Structures are given as C-alpha cells and as structure tokens.
Structure 1
C-alpha cells in the first residue's frame, strides 16, 4: 500500500513541477515554431503514458494485493489486450515521429531565394564564409586546405576570389531574410546549435550538411557545439548577431575577401 501511495505522489509532484517549472523553452528567434510544436506533441504523449502507467501500477498494487482467502488467477496470454496495446503503442510512436519527419524535411530544403553561408567547425573554433559580389561561393577541395586557407577554397576558381571570410566565431545575419547554412568539419563530429533558432545539425567530416532558417528577432545569440568533440568541447562557442539589413551589409563589407587575405 505504501508503494501505491508513493507512486501517486510521484505522479502528482511530477505534473505539478512541470507546470510550475522555471525551465522552459528560450524565446524563439526564428521561423521554426514547428519544432516547438513537435516537442510539445512528444511531451504530451510521453507525459500521458507516464501518468497512465504509474497510476495503473498503483491501482494494480492495491487491487491485487495479497489478501487471506483470495487466490491469484493465472492468465499467461491475453490476445485481445496485447492487440490493443500494440495498436495504441503504434499510434503513439507514429504521432511522435510523423511531425518530426515532416519538419526535418522542410528544414533541409531551403527556399530558392535563401542566402548562403558556410559554417566551418574545427577543434575548437568556428569560421564562416559568405559569397562575394557574384553571389556564389567558390569551389573548395581538401587539397587546398592550409593554415592560410582553412576553407580549402580553390584559388583558381574566379567565384571564390571575392568570397568573404570570417575568421572569428561571430556570425552576423540579416533580420527577416532566409539563410541556408552549409556545414563542414575539418576534423571530428561537431554540431551547430543556437537554442533560440530551434534548429541544429551535425558537421560530419567529408560531408556538407545543411539547414535553413529565417531570423525573426534581432539580438545576440550564443552558438554551441552540441556534439562531444574533444577536451575543449565546452569552449567551442560563438555568437550570432541578428541585425537589420543596413547594419549587416556594413559588417559584411568590413570583412576580408579570399583574394585580399592571401
């Protein structure tokens, strides 16, 4: 009986703490409110299962406790119950997975008018590359990677000579304009994550991964590496500065081009 009471108290305390908790989502600063919706769907489903399972266990403890003169009924199989539980579990899993798969498919398909920014991760720093006046990023190849060419931009590609290079971990983005982020890693797995944007993606060596977003709130937001990438993983941080178009253009104009940096 004490165990049943303890389970009920745990359920009540957990639900109460959820609604009274000071820890919740950070204020969103991008167009990806759908990510919050998918998380809430998962939270509601798993929360309902948590409450139902624990209250059922408490009820079973009370109802089927040992009592003198009562004998347990042995029922090794119940196909009807198993079928219902299988259908219910399947419906719950589909309800959690389907919204996430839909949102992910949208997240990795940037609109045609999205500006491009390349993000380069390396133990333990961030670098960024923007297209120059021609609006196109130059070709890259690992054979060209060196201390003075960390992006591996092909020096013979005319589209790469005006690329804008940002060698510090501060990324500026224009407010209200869609941006596609192309993610590359120099060494190990990294993960580009800005909590207020609600989107994150792994940087995989040898692969260019991508996602897009539209910043919807001006401000300064911290970039985190959300993949354990070595001893100084905790120190792999940067900032995204979301600002109006004029301020962004002024900042971009002050950054060196690939040709000027060589």
Structure 2
C-alpha cells in the first residue's frame, strides 16, 4: 500500500508543479507560435499517458496486493489487449509527430521576400554578413581567412565587394521582416539559438545550414551556442537586436563593406615614428613599458590586438569603468590617432620595435602550469596568442601588468562594458583563479614561456 500511495502522490505533485512551475517558455518574439503549440500538444499527450499509466499502476498494486490464499494467474498473451495498446500508441505517436513534420515543412521553406544574413560561428564568437546593393553574398573559402580577411571572402568575386561585414557579436534585424539566416562555422560544431524566436540550428564545418523567422517584437535577445564547442562554450554569447525598419536601415548604412576593409593603405613606419613620440613619454622610446607610469610594453605585441584596444579606448569600451584610472588616461591618447591611416602608421612603427628583455616573476610554476591549461586553447601552448581565436600574445608581458589585468577581469573593471565581448569572456574564464596566489602562479608560468618556441 505504501508504494501505491507514494506513486499517487508523485503523480499529483508532478501535475501541480507542471502548472505552477516558473520554468516555462520565454515570451515569444517571432512568428513561430506553432512551435509552442506543438510542444504543448506533446506535453498534453505525454502527460495524459504519464498520469494514466501511473494511476493504472496504483490501481494494480492496490487491486492485486498480496492476500493469504490467493494465487497469481499467468497469462503470457492477450491479443485483444495488445491490439488496443498498439492502436492507442500509434495514434499518440502520430498525434505528436504529424504537427512537428508539418511545422518542419514550413521551417525549411523561407518566404520569397526574406532578407538574407550570414551568421558565422567560431570559438567563441559570432560575426555576421549582409549582402550589399546587389543583393548577393560573395563566395567564401576558409583557406582565405586572414587578419585582413576574417570572413574568408574571395577578393576576385565581384559579388562580395559590397558585402556588409559586422565584426561585432551583435546582430541587428528589422521588425516584421522575414529573415533567412545562413549558418557557417570556421572551426567546430556550433549552434545558433535564440530562445524567444523558438529557432535553433547547428553550424557544421564545411556545410551551409539555415533557418528563418520573422521578428515580431522590438528589443534585445540573447543568442547562444547550444552545441558543446570547447572549453569556452558557455561564454559564446551574442545578441540579436530588433529595430524598426527605419532604424535598421540607418544602422546598416553605417557598417563597412568588404571593399572598404581592403582599401586600407599600409602604414608607413617613418610617419608612425612621429605619432609615437607622444606615446614614448609613457611606454618608452622602444615600447619597453614603464611600471612607474603604469604603462605596459607595446613592443612585440600583436598589431591586430593593439589596433582593437585603441578602437576600444576611442569608443569608450575601455577606460570608462570605475576603478580603471590608468585606462582613463589612455582615452585622450588614443584620440590622437582617431583617423584610420594615422593609426596604421603608428602601428607600423611599433611593429618595427625590437622585443625587450622580459622581467622576472616569482610563483609556483607547477600550479601555474595546471591553471594555464584553461588558457592554452586560446592563447597557445607558449602564450604566443592565436589570431583566429581573438586571443592576444601573453608571453613577454610584464608580470605586474598581466596580474593587474587578470584582477581587472576578475573584478569586472574590464569586461563589464556591453560592447566588450572578448572582455566579458575573459571575466567569466578568470573566475577559476580563486586567490592572489593563483594569479601570481599563472603569471609566473606565463612569464617562463617563450612565444618564439
């Protein structure tokens, strides 16, 4: 009797919890209400079966409980019962599958008036590409991916010259306009999921998959990767912002095309020397850095990373957080190379600087080696930095500066700005460093590495 009562209570509790549970769908913000209806239908069918089977089990336990003098009767076959059970199961499965197949037929057939956008996934970042005035996306090839061509567009394809490139993790879309999203991966399996849109699809390396939806609500919605794609999988976040058509058109008009990214004139190191004179007062004549002025070394650092940080200072992504007093000093300095060509000249000159001798750092190298295992996938085994992972070089950075930046990420002084996507990732990842000793140990280990090895 006790087991029958327990089963009955579990059934009643499960049904009550289903209806009062706070864990339910996010508010719908697309045209796919049919997917909600299909899921709810599945809940009803499986729920009815769950209740019926368990109530029947309670009845059987009670009705045929042990009584002295009674003997069980063994009946191995009952064709009539088996027939009814087969029929009921077939009807239930068909009732669940048929609507899903019908909805799937709609899901893979986007409307003719859909706009196209390509979403590109890589560990652990999203970027996007819109067709230009010609309405066509240019050809791509992963073998063409480089620092100057991160999408791998074919420069010889005329259709790709006016493609609009979005280097941010934020995708902006127009309200009430069907959107077909083409999905491409640069490296491993990823998944494009926006819970409020009720859409998701895998990104498979070497293949082009797609999905479509119509945004029906203005706002910002989280974009997640729901395919385990590596150690930083949980930090692979993006955002879809839905705006009115006029606002979307204004935003799109401000973005750069592939042709514009390729028109950048190479920097002149001789001209860059003049630009660097202002920087030299803090960072040193040879870019060696100056701890007394809280200025890190810039010689030997990846040029693409320095460019990104200068842009971040100019746009207020860095240097504006409370507690970042030294970053705040850089905002005015970065403004001196506000035009792209001046920045190119400056970076070209920095690129000619010899790598200075590294400072020493004390710490437990064995513990640092263990802690660095979480970093190696992005920054490399020798902390040399990996461009395609958007991870800068760490080897050779001054221990005091590296420790301070880790502390900044841990305390959200860096990585807290909504546009600092990579900083936000780092803020999540450095939480594994639980003490100042851990930070000292990992800094000492990084300091023992050589990017040239």
- Which TM-score bucket, shorter chain as reference? over 0.9
Cα distance in 2 for partners of 1:229, 1:57 equals 43
Secondary structure at the aligned position of 1:159 is classed as helix
Q: CA deviation at 1:74?
A: 0.8
Determine the structure 1 residue equivalent to 2:187: 187
Contact persistence 2:120–2:183 (CA under 8 A): yes
Determine the structure 2 residue equivalent to 1:205: 205
Secondary structure at the aligned position of 2:160 is classed as coil
Cα displacement string for residues 147-205 of structure 1 (whole angstroms, at most 9, x for unaligned residues): 32232211111110010001110000000111100001111111000000001100011
Determine the structure 1 residue equivalent to 2:141: 141
Determine the structure 1 residue equivalent to 2:51: 51
Equivalent residues in 2 for 1:53-202, closer than 5 Å:
53-202=53-202
Q: CA deviation at 1:213?
A: 0.7
Cα distance in 2 for partners of 1:150, 1:91 equals 52
Contact persistence 2:123–2:187 (CA under 8 A): yes
Of 163-172 and 151-160, deviating more is: 151-160
Contact persistence 2:224–2:237 (CA under 8 A): yes
Cα distance in 1 for partners of 2:72, 2:213 equals 59
Secondary structure at the aligned position of 2:38 is classed as helix
Of 9-18 and 87-96, deviating more is: 87-96
Cα distance in 1 for partners of 2:150, 2:182 equals 15
Cα distance in 2 for partners of 1:93, 1:138 equals 44
Cα distance in 2 for partners of 1:150, 1:88 equals 55
Of 113-122 and 148-157, deviating more is: 148-157
Secondary structure at the aligned position of 2:68 is classed as coil
Secondary structure at the aligned position of 1:184 is classed as strand
2:252 pairs with 1:258: no
Cα distance in 1 for partners of 2:151, 2:28 equals 31
Equivalent residues in 2 for 1:236-251, closer than 5 Å:
236-251=236-251
Cα distance in 2 for partners of 1:22, 1:50 equals 21
Secondary structure at the aligned position of 1:35 is classed as helix
Cα distance in 2 for partners of 1:148, 1:50 equals 58
Q: CA deviation at 1:141?
A: 2.2
Cα distance in 2 for partners of 1:148, 1:198 equals 35
2:19 pairs with 1:5: no
Q: CA deviation at 1:143?
A: 2.9
2:25 pairs with 1:21: no
Cα distance in 2 for partners of 1:103, 1:144 equals 38
Cα distance in 2 for partners of 1:90, 1:31 equals 30
Cα distance in 2 for partners of 1:118, 1:29 equals 20
TM-score by length of 2: 0.57
Q: CA deviation at 1:56?
A: 0.9
Secondary structure at the aligned position of 1:183 is classed as strand
TM-score by length of 1: 0.98
Cα distance in 1 for partners of 2:148, 2:171 equals 20
Secondary structure at the aligned position of 2:158 is classed as coil
Cα distance in 2 for partners of 1:59, 1:115 equals 58
Contact persistence 2:142–2:186 (CA under 8 A): no
Q: CA deviation at 1:144?
A: 2.0
Cα distance in 2 for partners of 1:189, 1:79 equals 48
Cα displacement string for residues 111-141 of structure 1 (whole angstroms, at most 9, x for unaligned residues): 1110000000001000100011111111222
Flag the structure with larger Rg. Answer: 2
Contact persistence 2:188–2:205 (CA under 8 A): yes
Structure 1: gaps (5+ residues): none
Cα distance in 2 for partners of 1:75, 1:171 equals 63
- Greater length-normalized contact order (CA 8 Å, ≥ 6 residues apart): 1
Secondary structure at the aligned position of 1:234 is classed as helix
Across the two proteins, how many residue pairs are aligned to each other? 262
Secondary structure at the aligned position of 1:102 is classed as helix
